Amino acid sequence: MTHCHHDPFSHGRGDWDDVGRAAEDFARRIARDAGQFGERIATHASELARRMSREWRDARRHGAAWDGEDVRVVLKEVRAMVTDVIDGVDELIDRVLGGGRDREARGGANEWVPVVANREATCGACGRRIGSGEECHLRRHADGREFRCAECGVPSSSSGQSTT
């Protein structure tokens, strides 16, 4: 019996096809899980709306009324909690896929990168709301993330003024 003791990666192609398939499979599973997560959030949001509606009607029957501001405060808190969960998942995926190392190799964590926002954000320069799906600039640093809208652009390193 003979054994071949060669490096499977030494021929140029080797098992890189297997690595590519594994990465594609990983991405498909993450996308499927994200879709299921979105469906679960929609289910929970519907249940919250039904419960709030029931409580609203109940309060009216008993002569009390909810202030619209009270409802806004509750919904704002819920939104903040969901955003924190999504941010946590985003950071986990970044760590798992080695995003931190890649950024350091490209010039550090404070580098501005053009992105398409996957959720609402606020421009750090003008305070304008950046909508989900809108092009903007992102900078990650130890304290979190900073966004800049496309109009403001990124600050130039010398004068602090924006460049687009």
Strand partners, 114: 137
pLDDT, one tens digit per residue, over 19-78 is: 888 888 888 888 888 888 888 888 898 899 899 889 888 888 888 877 778 888 888 888
Looking at residue 7, its pLDDT comes to: 52
Pair 77, 53 in one domain: yes
Q: Which helix (H) or strand (E) holds 149?
A: strand 144-149
Pair 135, 92 in one domain: no
Pair 79, 32 in one domain: yes
Give the chain's domain count.
Answer: 2
Judged on CB neighbours under 10 Å (0-12, 13-18, 19+), 11 is: exposed
Looking at residue 159, its pLDDT comes to: 40
pLDDT, one tens digit per residue, over 49-60 is: 899 889 888 888
Residue 68 main-chain phi, psi, to 5 deg: -55, -30
Per the domain annotation, does 21 fall within a domain? yes
> Which residues span the domain enclosing 164?
109-164
Per the domain annotation, does 93 fall within a domain? yes
Cα(89)–Cα(97) distance, integer angstroms: 12
Contacts of 66 (CB under 8 A, 6+ apart): 55, 56, 59
User: pTM of this prediction?
Assistant: 0.46
